[in-house]
Copies of this chain bind each other. A is one copy, B any other.
């Protein structure tokens, strides 16, 4: 049971977009080049982010992707949900209603304790992800990187960004 690689790529891409000025964007080619990943495949996940309203896509010359809202309003759970979906990892197939000692559906008002426990664990996972925003990530990256490195990144972004309202 593993998350799609797209989740990692999307998170890094969103984090990079957080460094953009208000009216600037980054094309998928540029984002792919920055992370050295296949552009066409990254595009699929950027599309998912777009549908989820996390980023806005602009077509045409000087188009590209940019954040749709403030970094502090985008959590890692938002990104995970957009890219990987919101289906629970644990699927309860109600096998207690199967077999020679099957429970009747009417006896299953309460959730199966096993399913309940797994879903509670997932809730803890989601809550943890939801508590971290891209703004937090940006702060961490800024604090743990050297000034020289940050300048290099900002210069590269400046040189490769697209500009259109």
Q: Which residues of A contact B (CB under 8 A)?
A: 1-5, 7-9, 11-12, 15, 33-37, 76, 84-85, 87-93, 95-96, 98-101, 103, 107, 110, 113-115, 117-118, 120-122, 124-129, 132, 136-137, 140-141, 144-146, 149, 152-153, 156
A153 CA to B114 CA, complexed, in Å: 17
* Closest residue of B by beta carbon distance from A2: B89
Please indicate the chain B residues that have their CB under 8 angstroms from the CB of A87 in the complex: 2
User: How many copies of the chain does the oligomer comprise?
Assistant: 2
Main secondary structure of the interface of A (DSSP, over half): helix
B114 engages A11 (CB within 8 Å): yes
Does A107 contact B149, Cβ atoms closer than 8 Å? yes
Shortest CB distance A86–B (Å): 11
A35-B132 in contact given A1-B1, A2-B91, A141-B113 (Cβ < 8 Å): no
